[in-house]
Chain A
Amino acid sequence: LAKTTQPISMDSYEGQEVNITCSHNNIATNDYITWYQQFPSQGPRFIIQGYKTKVTNEVASLFIPADRKSSTLSLPRVSLSDTAVYYCLVGDMDQAGTALIFGKGTTLSVSS
């Protein structure tokens, strides 16, 4: 399983765009990149998943360069409710959705 490295914490203000970068130098050919969000006292919630280039949904965008050794989660115009811990996971397609290996994540604090 590929090890991931992401910043421990980030601060932002409401209305700003937030970019959280995750490094995964040892990513394997079969690995997907998935981001989860966790609010206090709740279980993690899936945000977005990608394999290469760019993926966008109603919540976020995920940018993956050609070498796939890093990825960036982009949250457009954050609000106070985006304050949470964000986890970057890299895992085998065959185990997609199970046997997830979480790091410590990035704690995002959004202020007004």
Chain B
Amino acid sequence: NAGVTQTPKFQVLKTGQSMTLQCAQDMNHEYMSWYRQDPGMGLRLIHYSVGAGITDQGEVPNGYNVSRSTTEDFPLRLLSAAPSQTSVYFCASASGRINTEAFFGQGTRLTVV
């Protein structure tokens, strides 16, 4: 059981480049979310989705786009990378039922130079 899979694990980008962080889950979960974590900080919510075709903004959405065309996948796009987006990115999924827990991926460490 793979759970939540994030790719790549590490990435270095130049300022201005674009890229997509991939997130896939095999638990048939309705809810998926993206977070970023900066050194010494807790996780901050970027975008989330409560089902295919439905997305919404979190605490820090600027500079990021998402889409949810399937239940399994929730990619995060950086349109024009900036050094301020250097961070560790976590994807999570949850079933959406009451009293549910979120399952997190192992993270993508992104460095923008």
Contacts and interface: CB of A to CB of B under 8 A. Distances in A.
Interface stretch (B13-21, B76-84, B89-97): B89-97
A42 interface: yes
A36 B59 CA distance: 19
B48 A87 contact: no
Contact of A44 (B41, B48, B56, B104): B104
Q: How large is the interface on A (under 10, 10 to 19, 20 to 34, 35 or more residues)?
A: 20 to 34
Q: How large is the interface on B (under 10, 10 to 19, 20 to 34, 35 or more residues)?
A: 20 to 34
Contact of B45 (A45, A96, A101): A101
Contacts of A72: none
A43 B3 CA distance: 12
A73 B27 CA distance: 28
A46 interface: yes
Interface string A91-112: 0010011111111110000000
Interface of A: 32, 34, 36, 41-46, 49, 87, 93, 96-105
B41 A93 contact: no
Interface string B93-105: 0111111111111
B93 to A, nearest CB: 8
